[in-house]
Amino acid sequence: MDDHFTKAEAALLMPATTAASRRQSDAEAIRLAAVAARDEAVAAWILGGLRATIRFVASLPARIATYNALHGLSDRELRDIGMNRFDIGRVFEPNFNPRPANDAGRQPSPRVA
């Protein structure tokens, strides 16, 4: 028995090396572009979350200092800036809008002589 393969036998053992059709190569290019776009979107999402976390952690000492400063004010001082004790925890909410401390937005009431 001979250990050598004939060329015909070797050809049968090799993977098929037929040229891919134009349509298959276009489909593969589209698939690779979609994979790259997906990977880019996932990376952008992860980086955005990481940046937001870093911003939050970096601003935490200032937030704590502001919270403690507001908590140290008296009720009268809080009223002077248009807040009350219940507003202190909401100061850092994006849509927080304190009430005006004075009545500049209202019409003056008529004085009685």
The number of beta carbons lying within 10 Å of the beta carbon of residue 60 is: 10
Q: Taking residues 20-45, report their average pLDDT.
A: 93
On whether the CB atoms of residues 81 and 101 are closer than 8 A, the answer is yes
Distance CA 55, CA 42 (A): 20
- Candidates 70, 89, 65, 90; CA nearest to 80 is 70
Where along the chain do its domains lie?
23-90
pLDDT category of residue 106 using cuts at 50, 70 and 90: low
Look at the pTM and tell me if it is higher than 0.85: no
